[in-house]
Structure 1
Amino acid sequence: MPPNTVPDRLLSSTSARSPSIITSEKFQELIKQGDSVFIYEQKVYKVNNFMAKHPGGEAAIKSALGRDVTDEIRTMHPPQVYEKMINLYCIGDYMPDVIRPVSITQQHTHITKADKPVLTATWEGGLTVQAFDDAIKDLHKHHSHDLTTDAVVQKDLNGDQIREAYRKLEAELYERGLFKCNYWKYARECCRYILFIFLSLWFTLRGTETWHYMAGAAFMAMFWHQLVFTAHDAGHNEITGRSEIDHVIGVIIADFIGGLSLGWWKDNHNVHHIVTNHPEHDPDIQHIPFFAITTKFFNDIYSTYYNRILKFDAASRFFIKYQHYLYYLVLSFGRFNLHRLSFTYLLTCKNVRTRTLELVGITFFFVWFGSLLSTLPSWNIRIAYVMVSYMLTFPLHVQITLSHFGMSTEDRGPNEPFAAKMLRTTMDVDCPEWLDWFHGGLQYQAVHHLFPRLPRHNLRQCVPLVREFCNQVGLHYYMYNFSTGNGVVLGTLKSVADQVGLMNQVAKSNAKIWANEKEHAH
């Protein structure tokens, strides 16, 4: 099917009805029995035998079990998956025990669209005190864990209306051809990649001064930084639309050229897209002991992705108390951590799709990069080269965390519409179009989370349509410029850090009280 053709499933469901009826009670019984079941298009699917074979990783499908994941499946997979392959696992029609549609007119609140503006900050204005204060106030207003305006709005909105409007928006994007990959954009990006690697090798191999080698390291960092965007596209099957081909493209870029596991990234990232900003489930916000974006991490929560308790220990208390000061420094070591995660995944996980190919790819990376380092005149320069080339990739890590660290981490239950959850937990970053090359176009993370398979180069064109969709259904669309977005994230980190400081003061106070009581007792 051509990429710009509207799939039939966007307009109507054409699959045949199954004779079996599964009620909500029966569905819960299947879950209690340990069956891997989920709901798609009012049908129940049992995937016990498919879990380990899932191309997107076992963790991703585990995070979708036990609930209706219609929109998640539609937006994360090509049409052939949800139109044909998925039917092999259907066990019956889902019939809820009670259906209670909710209408805005049934509630007593009267919140208008004027009360729910699209939150934006212009690039030209820069980061002003007023803009930052307004951004923080808006986030506190709409992300409070109490029953605030935003929570009331979420109760008022009819989830089915949001889902219907979201699917109409997706259909419109298909009709406009925005799901069609523009290969000329990749050709232009390849010219940029070649320029950066050429400059890096020229300065590294022909250099005679220390600054020549450091310039070569800086261009190597820029080369890796830019290549990651294409590897990201391959991981989402945005390039050819065929998972096998895109996976190989991604492995060549990520493993052979970058030394990082594409398989690990897909396993991690697919879960992130399904349970965005959920403290217990989303690995992209589980950075104990260095970062905590919510006080929920103070409770030694259990990570369903890493299958272990994230201990809030003495090291966590120290780093998180100063996390808003250490934010950029810690992120500058992000590439080293990606090596660790890649090796852990490839050497310890049972179900790795292309383990041998990836291990060969990473070995190849260390051979070619090690050979390049061997041409440098001294060990001091080699170490400096590694540190500069690795640490200067930190803008990528800033961009990745920027879109989520300052956003909501609430769990509003399985009935929250997919689109509402993505817009609540993700921030877009605005910038001039000429800067898109630096951000790779992925600064529009909210749009990307709504439509993960939509080509990266088309995300900017979708912004007005997403804004119109938000106005139509009453959802917020969070968009700030780069500087204001950084301020929002630092503000969130500081607010959590302040809570650690308060905890330490309470602990010291209790210790003094206990000591005084002990002394009086003697």
Structure 2
Amino acid sequence: MCHTGKTATATAVRRHAIFTRKEIEDRVKQGEILVIINSKVYNLTKFINHHPGGDLAIWHMAGKDATDAVLAYHPEPVIEKRMPHFCIGELAPNTQHASKLSLAYRRLDAKLKAEGMYETNYWFYVREAVKMLAIWFAMIGLVVWGPQHWMTYAASALLGSTLWHQAAFVAHDAGHSGITHDAKTDMILGICLGNFLGGLSLGWWKHNHNVHHIVTNDPSHDPDIQHMPFFAISTKFFQNLYSTYYKRVLNFDAAAQFFISIQHHLFYLILCFGRFNLYVLGWSYVLRKGPVPHRKLEITCMSLFWAWFIPLLSYLPNWKYRVAYILLSHMMTVFLHLQITLSHFGMEAQENPQDDFAAMALKTTMDVECPIWMDWFHGGLQFQVEHHLFPRLPRHNLRKIRPHVLKLAKDHNLPFHSYGFIKSNQVVLAVLQSVAHQVRAVLRVDPRTAHAHAL
């Protein structure tokens, strides 16, 4: 049994209350945020706006069994020490049930912990830090002290894109508490590294990315696949969907119809400009009203990025070189944006799926096969299935757990999507082309009401 907790509302007056799923559903409809974890019921109504992982990550779990998602995202001390304060009762015994897949997933998680797979090899991150500092110094050194030649500047710009590529991987690890496994420590490390070297907001990414992990490839809820008017991976986007993340309608208007009808041709070109969009999203997040964890640190480190990048540009001979340097360095981060999209763009997209946490990860995520000597280039993103199942697992152990995940999928007759780099590109392009052709078909039926004909 659990204690009621200080955050329980006035309607939950019974200590050790027993809740049916219908009672939980009714209270959620009344505006309370109740979730089920290990057959216990938690009231997170007053905590939701203080959740380090963002409010939407909890909101999407309201009324549901969040056991697997919570275990995946939170270390044991958080669950054992903080969660009891929000417990208001238990689920009625006759409604307690966990699928065979869910139980197998939990056993595998316990097995990986026992085998030390959650333990970080800190020398790995020492090497990463040395590598990034060396790239950063070389990037600056070529412009400031190197020969005044366009090839020197081009080499520096390419080093810049490489730096941002590699820094994003470490920031990703930190955002998932996959380095020290302390959320606050990892977040501060990630901000000091990622925001300073790359100019982006780790806080924005975490708020966005946590939602993505909870509702992967859900057209209405997952911001990682909401790229209207440029991309649509499902005909569901023809329906003028309302984005619960962006709090606006994703209009299937004339611009969207045009771009999506040729999206398979524009795919790589648009990805080249993805980094510019991330600057806008990052600053919009840290300057918004409402709670922003580590706001001052984020703004400071993002500002310090421009404090070193703009002076670096001043060493270039003229504005033509500066514009070319910015374009080359930023456009060559296309590989990072490509790696991110390959993981999910070619996979199943369902609205409000009822799958278990593990089933959702296996159905909506793709691995990209590569030799071990190319792991540096993919930065762990090639093991997205493993990462979605065990997001706090250190990056350097993802390859080691792959056989376990393959067995989990096989034992429960679930797909395990894994392709080589070329084939994974072909899979994504095929989906984009299929949706593009359906746009054209819809427009031929009735261009004025295209969204009404979504398949």
Establish whether TM, by shorter chain, passes 0.5. yes
SS in 1 for 2:381: coil
2:51 matches 1:54: yes
SS of equivalent to 1:443: helix
CA distance in 2, matches of 1:508, 1:465: 49
- 1:138 corresponds in structure 2 to none
Q: CA deviation at 1:510?
A: 10
Instruction: Name the residue aligned to 2:133.
Output: 194
Structure 2 counterparts to residues 66-85 of structure 1, below 5 A: 66-85=63-82
1:412 positional shift: 6.0
Cα pair 1:422 1:446 within 8 Å, conserved: yes
Structure 2 equivalent of residue 41 of structure 1: 38
Is the 8 Å Cα contact of residues 292 and 493 (structure 1) preserved in structure 2?
A: yes
1:20 aligned onto 2:17:
yes
- Shift of the 346–510 alpha-carbon distance from structure 1 to 2, 3 Å rule, reads closer
Pick from 63, 67, 92 the counterpart of residue 95 of structure 1.
92
Q: Work out which of the residue numbers 436, 456, 472 in structure 1 matches 2:375.
A: 436
Instruction: Name the amino acid aligned to 2:150.
Output: T
Give the C-alpha shift of residue 230 in structure 1: 0.6
Q: Residue type matched to 2:361 in 1?
A: M
1:134 is matched with none
Indicate the residue corresponding to 2:11 in structure 1. Answer: none
Counterpart position of 1:116: none
Match of 1:500 in 2: 439
Separation (CA, whole Å) in 1 of partners of 2:402 and 2:428: 22
CA contact (8 A) 1:204 1:217 kept: no
CA RMSD, Structure 1 to Structure 2 (Å): 1.9
How far off its partner does 1:202 sit? 2.5
SS at match of 2:446: helix
Q: Does 1:329 align with 2:326?
A: no
Shift in CA distance, 508/317, structure 1 to aligned 2, threshold 3 Å: closer
Cross-structure match for 1:419 = 358
Does the alignment pair 1:249 with 2:189?
A: yes
1:130-155 Cα deviation digits (max 9, x unpaired): xxxxxxxxxxxxxxxxxxxxxxxxxx
Q: Which runs of 5+ in 1 are unaligned?
A: 1-13, 102-158, 512-522
Do 1:162 and 1:419's aligned partners in 2 also have CA atoms closer than 8 Å?
A: yes
Corresponding residue SS for 1:444: helix
How far 1:191 sits from its partner (Å)? Answer: 3.1
Q: Deviations over 1:399-427 (max 9, x none)?
A: 0010100001124644x211011100001
Q: Distance in 2 between matches of 1:56 and 1:363?
A: 24
Aligned-pair distance for 1:16? Answer: 7.9
- Alpha-carbon distance in 2 for matches of 1:441, 1:262: 18
Partner of 1:360: 300
Q: Distance in 1 between matches of 2:193 and 2:224?
A: 22
Q: CA deviation at 1:441?
A: 2.2
- Work out the CA distance in 2 between the residues paired with 1:228 and 1:377: 30
Counterpart contact for 2:168–2:194, Cα < 8 Å? yes
Moved more, 186-195 or 323-332: 186-195
Task: Determine the C-alpha separation between the residues in 1 that align with 2:162 and 2:223.
Answer: 26
Tell me, in whole angstroms, the C-alpha distance in 2 between the residues paired with 1:476 and 1:173: 21
Q: Any idea what SS the aligned residue of 2:90 has?
A: strand
Which of these residues, 203, 206, 212, is aligned with residue 263 of structure 1? Answer: 203
Q: 1:34 & 1:312 partners in 2: Cα distance? A: 31
- Deviation per residue, 1:10-53 (Å, 9 max, x gap): xxxx9789621111221112012111111111111111111111
Task: Note closer, same or farther for the CA distance 1:350–1:509 as it changes in structure 2 (3 Å cut).
Answer: closer
Maintained 8 Å contact 2:240/2:251:
yes
Name the aligned partner's letter for residue 45 of structure 2: N
Q: Does 1:305 align with 2:242?
A: no
Question: Is 1:468–2:407 an aligned residue pair?
Answer: yes
Aligned-partner residue type, residue 331 of structure 2: M
Q: Match for 2:175: what amino acid?
A: G
SS in 1 for 2:119: coil
Q: Aligned AA for 2:39?
A: Q
Provide the C-alpha distance between the structure 2 equivalents of 1:98 and 1:239, rounded to a whole number of angstroms: 38
The CA distance in 2 between the partners of 1:64 and 1:356, in whole Å, is: 30
Percentage of matched positions with identical amino acids: 47
SS of the residue aligned with 1:348? coil
1:96 deviates by 6.9
In the alignment, what sits opposite 2:12? none
Structure 1, 15-24 or 61-70: larger mean CA deviation: 15-24
> Structure 1 residues 16-25 or 416-425, which shifts more?
16-25
> Which secondary structure state, in structure 1, belongs to the residue aligned with residue 177 of structure 2?
coil
Contact 1:60 1:270 in 2 (8 A): yes
The total of aligned residue pairs comes to 439
Give 1:384's aligned residue.
324
Change in 2 beyond 3 A, CA 1:508/1:312: closer
Segments of structure 2 that go 5 or more residues without pairing to the other structure are 5-14, 451-455
Report the AA paired with residue 83 of structure 2.
I
Contact 1:56/1:266, CA 8 A, preserved across alignment? yes
- Higher deviation after alignment, 200-209 or 277-286: 200-209
Q: Kindly provide the amino acid, as one letter, of the partner of residue 357 in structure 1.
A: L
- TM-score with structure 2 length normalisation? 0.93
Bigger RCO of structures 1 and 2 (CA < 8 A, at least 6 apart)? 1
Q: Which residue of 1 aligns with 2:387?
A: 448
CA distance in 2, matches of 1:290, 1:509: 19
Larger radius of gyration: 1
1-structure distance, mates of 2:3, 2:124:
41
**SS across alignment from 1:39:** strand
CA distance in 1, matches of 2:418, 2:116: 25
Superposition map of 1:256-295 within 5 A: 256-295=196-235
